Structure 1
């Protein structure tokens, strides 16, 4: 991270302060191995899959940053333990039925993610009821993959591809036809579709995330465990043609996070360019100011995260990239200054994404060293 040490320290303190608003005063925990993440608002039994996926990745960022800074406030490995404890807690809550009495159908003690993972919605049914989202599941797969990359322990990546294999067929329609597509949301037990429309980013998200997990699996000697699944995402993407990013900060930002892994390929470079052009248009129009204090800051932080990942991977120069960075920093500072009113149930997701926007860290390719997907293994 190309910052002076004092600025790094300042950002890290803001980063940790945001994380402690979600996960309690973990810096005061004497034995991380017995730490249990406190329940957070907006999630079932205090757990929400998207929020906690960011939480895991953020703990990994803290591990690496503290390792490099040789911080005096405790051994850096404690942050790995916090990440592992958060993973175990999520699996124990969202990998089970809502009453907690049994694992989700298909899961076993040896394959705890073979039934998928619930979203963690507060309500069981209704338009905003619980179920399983493809993009939340892939975000969790990414977090597990990064945990394996940080620790060198293949267990978490194996959990990631176990999860991927379990959920994959339930989000596809017409795989044997000439025009397969995906669905947005399925039931908690994966038995049926709840929302039949296709998420704009889901095919690309699946292709990239499953490719990352498979590359790590090959590194760990597990082979091409997701080859069929990856080909299915590619088939859907090919049927759709060129990906068209939506004019949404979160969608644009997460697209930039995804394409960094394939930026040496023409399609990824072209897609990144389109995302940057759309972001510039949104910024020029003042879209991020449209809703004032009622804006959904976490979606903007997705854009900030994507911009930082893109810049770190590609190292772009020029007025456009400087402009995007300037606006990104301004949005972060506006939130820091208290210019946004965030509902209680959105505070956890907002805080973890605020931290990621401050220091993308483990979201960036190469943060833990050479990437298997980059070196063709």
Structure 2
């Protein structure tokens, strides 16, 4: 499938998404959902980059504005009103991410005295850390495209808010992270920690720090690095594997470009120590581009382990009713670094046989991306309930998989 064909398909998918969610033509009620909208912003920026048509840049900016004014404020069915940060209107306009951003789930959040119901919790509102980091990344991409520093500033403010709210000190000691928080960030709704949340936060904070000129988030980076220490990374969930590959691509771009390293990881896939022992970013003092080889190696090892299990599971031979498109498409997006990142990286790493071997191993799985894309491009498969019930997130992530350039950039 050619790039021109992909562009046309992505254009159609994103036009359908805009119509379904009230983005274009603008209408109410809006259907904003933070995870999907973060990918969508990057897709519109990619269409702008490919076509030069300012309509797509404007759609990205309009979507950012809608997200902030919808998910940055209390729900219509909530007795509370205004910005969830509690800031007055004018100050909230200037700092729309200071209170974080709601997920956008259909049901109100669980009230303090309500019993926990795992099934219902999936449909209840609140804040997810890993959704917030995706929005930080999207804001950074908007800032890079437009040259407007406000977007990176909003991303940094969101990182500061999220880090302060989601990190905690359990009775067992040592800082951890909550997986889901209340809308006002006052209490945890799901106290367990997401497997990749600390790594995702570390890489995202590093991305924002580089974008902001290297002056922000140093304390947060040091603290989240300590939370990462000892945490296993491997998973056989395709969406999780894709997230590891996404992080690997960003590690290459951020740390290779900045000449900085924050921590060393062992090959087992567990983060084990801070480079300088204090949690501070240490200046790298070796060959440029090789300072982060242990970090990259561990993330790739975890991804390769998961890929081997997923590829052997037979999932991709199942009918569509037994598959979740957005989870598989998360993997195909991650595998795109094999075509757009790891391949060129292998050239730059030719003096490092260990990393080159991992890059070569990853390249063997890259064809899975086309297999996944072709399956979900089939109109018959998109009639399955697993597609139609999650149509917006599925179409947006299919578009990202077909044209991932802006999403994979930092």
Which of residues 101, 112, 124 in structure 2 aligns to 1:129? Answer: 124
**Per-residue deviation, residues 298-351 of structure 1 (Å, max 9, x unmatched):** 100000000102442221588744542222101111111132413544100000
Aligned counterpart for 2:145 among listed residues 130, 150, 162:
150
* Pick aligned residue for 2:75 from 98, 106, 129: 98
Give the secondary structure class of the aligned counterpart of 1:24.
Answer: helix
1:8-19 equivalences under 5 Å are: 8-19=3-14
Measure, in 2, the Cα distance between the counterparts of 1:232 and 1:291.
44
CA offsets, 1:80-100, max 9 Å, x none? Answer: 111000000110100100028
2:98 is aligned to 114
Q: Does 1:269 align with 2:297?
A: yes
Preserved CA contact (<8 Å) 2:170 2:176: yes
Residue of structure 2 equivalent to 1:138: 133
- Pairwise mapping of residues 281-360 of structure 1 onto structure 2 (< 5 A)? 281-290=309-318, 292-315=320-343, 316=346, 320-337=361-378, 338-340=380-382, 341=384, 342-360=386-404
Q: Give the Cα–Cα distance (whole angstroms) in 1 for the partners of residues 303 and 27 of structure 2.
A: 37
Query: Could you tell me the TM-score, scaled by structure 2's length?
Result: 0.76
State the Cα distance separating 1:37 from its structure 2 match.
4.9
Deviations 1:102-159 (A, max 9, x none): 1113342321211110000010034231000000001000000011111111110011
Q: 1:260 to 1:86 in 2, by over 3 A?
A: same
**Residue 325 of structure 2 contacts residue 376 of structure 2 at CA under 8 Å; is this kept in 1?**
yes
Tell me if structure 1 keeps the 8 A contact 2:126–2:183.
yes
Give the aligned partner of residue 80 of structure 1: 57
Q: Where do 5+ consecutive residues of structure 2 fail to align? A: 110-119, 253-289, 347-355
CA distance 1:277–1:311, change in 2 (3 Å): farther
Counterpart for residue 50 of structure 1: 35
TM score, norm. by length of structure 1: 0.82
Residue 30 of structure 1 is matched in structure 2 by none
Q: Which residue of 2 aligns with 1:29?
A: none
Moved more, 85-94 or 305-314: 305-314
Among 48, 69, 87, which residue is 1:63 paired with? 48
Q: 1:155 to 1:346 in 2, by over 3 A?
A: same
Q: Deviations over 1:343-362 (max 9, x none)?
A: 54410000000001111111
Query: Distance between the aligned counterparts of 1:320 and 1:109, measured in 2?
Result: 48
* Alignment check: 8 A CA contact 1:257 1:363 kept: no
- Supply the RMSD in Å over aligned alpha carbons: 2.5
Contact 1:114 1:163 in 2 (8 A): yes
Deviation, 1:293, is 2.8
Cα distance in 1 between the residues matched to 2:171 and 2:247: 27
C-alpha distance 139-247 of structure 1, shift in aligned 2 (>3 A) = same
